[in-house]
Structure 1
Amino acid sequence: MPPVDLTGQIRLLDRRPIFTGSYSQVYRGKFRNEDVAIKVIKAVSNTSLTTMRRKVNREREVWAALSHPNILPFYGFAEDAVFEPYGALISPWCQYGDASYFFNQYGSVLTVPQKIALWKGAIAGVSYLHSHKPLLVHGDIKPSNILIDQYGRAILCDFGLVRIFLDEGSSGMTTTTAHTGTERYLAPELVTGEEMEYPTTASDVYALGCIGLEFVFDRKVYAHRKHNLRGCLIDDIASGMAPAEEPSNITTETTDSWEIIQACWNPDPNSRPLAWQMFETLSSPLPEVPDQ
């Protein structure tokens, strides 16, 4: 399905962004009577207008082709003057924000099965991408790219770095730019080679292991590094340092989760589980959304 043109139908509620990232800002708006998120792409230095427009068009075409309960729906694009020069991408508003915010606010009251269910939702979204025709690799899985909707579901978002495989075994990409995923969640093979490596289904799975550690055990990988100051975080990853030691809060409820997380971090990408295998192994109920 081609992207829907919503130009002239989106009302900006507040000119102050709700979220600001390296490449975009997100605002709250209205489409008809529904609250929506308005993703406005920012100008990037040393990148031509033509290149940026191509990137934005690519993201909206990829996004428009997706349909799954754990994938953020794409309503369409808007090219009103207020959203110049690259226009805006419109999606439902997720009232509970991203996973980082949600766990900071409600993590202490979530049960273990609820935490595992949220992780499983993220895995389901990635599994859908990996089984899509053509196969899609997300390339930037992290808590801020996982939203929590009003039903307590984990919803995968941000498809700006998605890599498309046109056929099985193909390295055919739709972009020639270097991978710029978030350092903390990069698989070792993405940072150890002399030549720039690109994300794969296996590197997505590695990042899902990092998400599992945060969701289920409330710990970050490479927690001793707050930032990638002077490249220290990347050096840790490249050196083969384990992303985390065994958590002290493992219980009978979380033993399987820890084993899956460790499997996701296997140094050999070919030995990591597939996303659908992770999904099948985990079993927990859909979490109830905590009262605000």
Structure 2
Amino acid sequence: MLTNAEDICVELTHHSHRLTESVELLARPHGDFHFRTGDLYSDWLLAGYGTFLYQKVFRCSGFDGLGELMHAGQRYLRSSNIRSGKLLSANVLDTMLLRNSGKVEERRETGSDAPALPQRFLWCYCYHHCPEDSTNNTCRTDGYCFTMVEEEGGTAVLTSGCLGLVGSEFQCRDTGNSKQRRALECCTDQNYCYVVGDIHHIALLISVTVCSFILTFIIIFCYFRYKRHELAPRYSLGLHPDETFIPPGESLRDLIEQSQSSGSGSGLPLLRTIAKQIQMVTQIGKGRYGEVWMGRWRGEKVAVKVFFTTEEASWFRETEIYQTVLMRHENILGFIAADIKGTGSWTQLYLITDYHENGSLYDYLKCTTLDSRAMLKLAYSSVSGLCHLHTEIFGTQGKPAIAHRDLKSKNILVKRNGACCIADLGLAVKFISDTNEVDIPLNTRVGTKRFMAPEVLDETLNRNHFQSYIMADMYSFGLILWEIARRCVSGGIVEEYQLPYHDHVPNDPSYEDMREVVCIKRIRPSFPNRWSSDECLRQMGKLMTECWAHNPASRLTALRVKKTLAKMSESQDIKV
């Protein structure tokens, strides 16, 4: 029995010479029987033999005279690599064999024969593949630690454990096949180099990443679907595209002018047809009366006021005022159509008007500073619209005098060219000169308390006298002039936008709050000191003071204010 390491290596070398001759003989063709190139059995035989020779060199690397054994192992292992294309790289093997050959040569030069290297053992974590002598899910091997994940019945099954040195290299290079989904990883760099916890962490990370990606995709998909739904027509207001009764080539403006000028009443059904073809696009505002939407008719933008059913009186009154003959004016919001749409359970009241992207004067002043030209244009255009409302036009197609009764910066819109137009006529009153009567709407709605005149707050207004309503409008217009002038830059200074009486009453003042400030204390908005050094602002301050006088009879009329502003613009060579 061999007990000495050197004797073992001598014996192994002797047998390997004989095995080498046998394998070489088998590898040669013998008539019709020989190992064909690529034959699976011959490849595995040569590969196994090459590995066997390599292991002998590795174990007996201190034994002299093993050059032939090393080269034989190298030759057959490389031969098997070339044929199978699936085993250990020949370049890697060359490096490993040359390294051991160098060690042999070094020992040969130094004349020392070191004993065989001690066998290296590795501790591995085992799971579903633990040997009987394992402790605490650990095992010990002279080969590799492995971790394998394979699919069984649609479920991923994790297995880990130890592989012995013999044959482990081939097992670790098993890549599975298309029928059996399997992944195998081996390691030898350190103890417990493949811990199942790491796999779990990796699996968790991959799962979280995939779930996050799917969730993100779902959110993006829902967002774009929602936006597409929002941009699509929100309500179907009537006809199909092929059911239009509008003559081709006509613009919305042409149709409105035709309906206003015919005088026969035939224009109203036409406008109702337009109303049924409006497509709602985006909500742009909301108030106590309802909502405001931006809509489209044949590509043209329009504004659609959708009234709450509780505000039917306001819708009816505003529609009636807009349909008054000779009502159209460049500084009064252009009316397009009105319609009622509903079923037995709900009703929607539509009022379609021109669309102005700058929004209200209130919104415009909050984000825009003005120079003298812009200030005068806003003021002049606003009072021009108010003057047209207040003025009665006599004739067979005459226009009655109209008072607004809810004048404020939120009810004045700013056009693209910087001019203003008066809007929201739901509280307007008409004066019928033939009967000398004031046509007051049957409406429980009241105006905005912050802009109410003193006579309205203390209930001293003569409701049967139409001029009282006109003068109440002029008080409100004086406050609007103050809002505009504060945003005019002079000497590089401008005040931030504020509502009138912002420093005296809360954001939503009550009647009592306003009555105490306006009627009892007779407080009016204050002027910044810089106005006294700017001629234009000084005149604006004088003008608004005469508009908000406590005595209604002392206030300027809209026509007087219009002429004064025109003169101011002319003196500064400003065209308004």
Smaller-chain TM-score bracket: 0.7 to 0.9
In structure 2, do the counterparts of structure 1 residues 201 and 8 end up closer, same or farther at CA, with 3 Å as the change threshold?
same
User: Matches of 1:38 and 1:272 in 2, distance apart?
Assistant: 35
Higher relative contact order (CA 8 A, sep 6+): 1
| 1:217–1:249 Cα contact (<8 Å) kept | no
Alpha-carbon offset, residue 254 of structure 1: 1.3
Alpha-carbon offset, residue 253 of structure 1: 1.6
Aligned residue-pair number: 275
User: Matches of 1:222 and 1:156 in 2, distance apart?
Assistant: 23
The DSSP-based 3-state class of the residue aligned with 1:79 is strand
User: Matches of 1:247 and 1:85 in 2, distance apart?
Assistant: 49
Query: Which letter maps to 1:189?
Result: E
TM-score (norm 1): 0.86
| 2:279–2:297 Cα contact (<8 Å) kept | yes
User: Matches of 2:400 and 2:543 in 1, distance apart?
Assistant: 27
Which residue matches 2:482?
213
Which residue matches 2:529?
248
Query: Which letter maps to 1:112?
Result: S
Which residue matches 2:296?
30
Which residue matches 2:447?
181
User: Matches of 1:75 and 1:273 in 2, distance apart?
Assistant: 33
| 1:123–1:278 Cα contact (<8 Å) kept | yes
Match of 1:64 among 319, 323, 330: 323
Which residue matches 2:558?
275
Which residue matches 1:200?
469
- Range with bigger deviation, 226-235 or 243-252: 226-235
Match of 1:235 among 516, 520, 524: 516
User: Matches of 2:336 and 2:375 in 1, distance apart?
Assistant: 29
| 1:190–1:197 Cα contact (<8 Å) kept | no
| 2:294–2:301 Cα contact (<8 Å) kept | yes
User: Matches of 1:270 and 1:253 in 2, distance apart?
Assistant: 26
Alpha-carbon offset, residue 270 of structure 1: 1.1
User: Matches of 1:276 and 1:33 in 2, distance apart?
Assistant: 38
Superposed, 1:79-98 pairs within 5 Å as 79-81=340-342, 85-98=347-360
Alpha-carbon offset, residue 183 of structure 1: 0.9
| 1:189–1:197 Cα contact (<8 Å) kept | no
User: Matches of 1:87 and 1:179 in 2, distance apart?
Assistant: 17
Superposed, 1:71-150 pairs within 5 Å as 71-81=332-342, 85-107=347-369, 110-132=370-392, 133-150=399-416
Which residue matches 1:222?
501
Alpha-carbon offset, residue 64 of structure 1: 2.4
Which residue matches 1:49?
none
Q: What is the Cα-based RMSD across aligned positions, in Å?
A: 2.4
In structure 2, do the counterparts of structure 1 residues 113 and 11 end up closer, same or farther at CA, with 3 Å as the change threshold?
same
Which residue matches 2:224?
none
User: Matches of 1:174 and 1:192 in 2, distance apart?
Assistant: 19
Alpha-carbon offset, residue 179 of structure 1: 6.0
Structure 2, unmatched stretches of 5+, are: 1-259, 393-398, 488-497
Query: Which letter maps to 2:321?
Result: V
In structure 2, do the counterparts of structure 1 residues 195 and 263 end up closer, same or farther at CA, with 3 Å as the change threshold?
closer
Structure 1, unmatched stretches of 5+, are: 45-51, 288-292
1:28-52, CA deviations, whole angstroms, 9 ceiling, x for partnerless residues? 11012111110011133xxxxxxx5
| 2:378–2:420 Cα contact (<8 Å) kept | yes
| 1:188–1:240 Cα contact (<8 Å) kept | no
| 1:212–1:261 Cα contact (<8 Å) kept | yes
1:111-134, CA deviations, whole angstroms, 9 ceiling, x for partnerless residues? 022112101111111000001331
State the structure with more CA Rg. Answer: 2
Fraction of identical pairs, as percent:
23
In structure 2, do the counterparts of structure 1 residues 243 and 169 end up closer, same or farther at CA, with 3 Å as the change threshold?
farther
Alpha-carbon offset, residue 55 of structure 1: 4.0
- Range with bigger deviation, 92-101 or 228-237: 228-237
| 1:190–1:196 Cα contact (<8 Å) kept | no
In structure 2, do the counterparts of structure 1 residues 259 and 23 end up closer, same or farther at CA, with 3 Å as the change threshold?
same
Query: Which letter maps to 1:85?
Result: T
